[in-house]
């Protein structure tokens, strides 16, 4: 929708915001990391509160911790001994998958 077509007056709908967000979340789904042939780590889509904390955070460790939630410790164990480019690529893929930073 162009700026000329955007609604500029009247009321706005919380239901529409929620419905649109649910549609996007369903289409994107969680981020699934294949660890090996029989193990995966599933990272759910961040909620609004987490996204606000991500925006306030400083540093890659904090951002990855917030996005990965309960899986963060395992993620850091898996990537910790590797060259830093591995976790950078992982972080980039997380951000792209969830549309963070658009």
Whether this model's pTM surpasses 0.85: no
What does the alpha-carbon distance between residue 32 and residue 44 come to, in Å, rounded to a whole number? 9
What does the alpha-carbon distance between residue 80 and residue 101 come to, in Å, rounded to a whole number? 24
Reported as a single tens digit per residue, the pLDDT across 53-73 is 999 988 889 999 999 999 999
**What per-residue confidence (pLDDT) applies to 62?**
93
**What per-residue confidence (pLDDT) applies to 100?**
85
**What per-residue confidence (pLDDT) applies to 8?**
65
Give the chain's residues under pLDDT 70.
1-8, 102
**What per-residue confidence (pLDDT) applies to 58?**
87
Domain boundaries, the chain: 28-98
């Amino acid at each position: 929708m162009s700026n000329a077509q955007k609604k500029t007056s009247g009321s706005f709908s919380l239901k529409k915001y929620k419905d649109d967000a649910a549609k996007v979340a369903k289409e994107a789904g969680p981020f699934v990391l294949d660890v090996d042939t029989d193990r995966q780590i599933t990272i759910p889509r961040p909620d609004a509160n987490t996204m606000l904390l991500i925006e306030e955070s400083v540093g890659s460790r904090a951002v990855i911790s917030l996005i990965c939630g309960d899986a963060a410790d395992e993620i850091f164990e898996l990537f910790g001994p590797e060259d830093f480019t591995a976790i950078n690529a992982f972080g980039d893929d997380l951000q792209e998958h969830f549309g963070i930073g658009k």
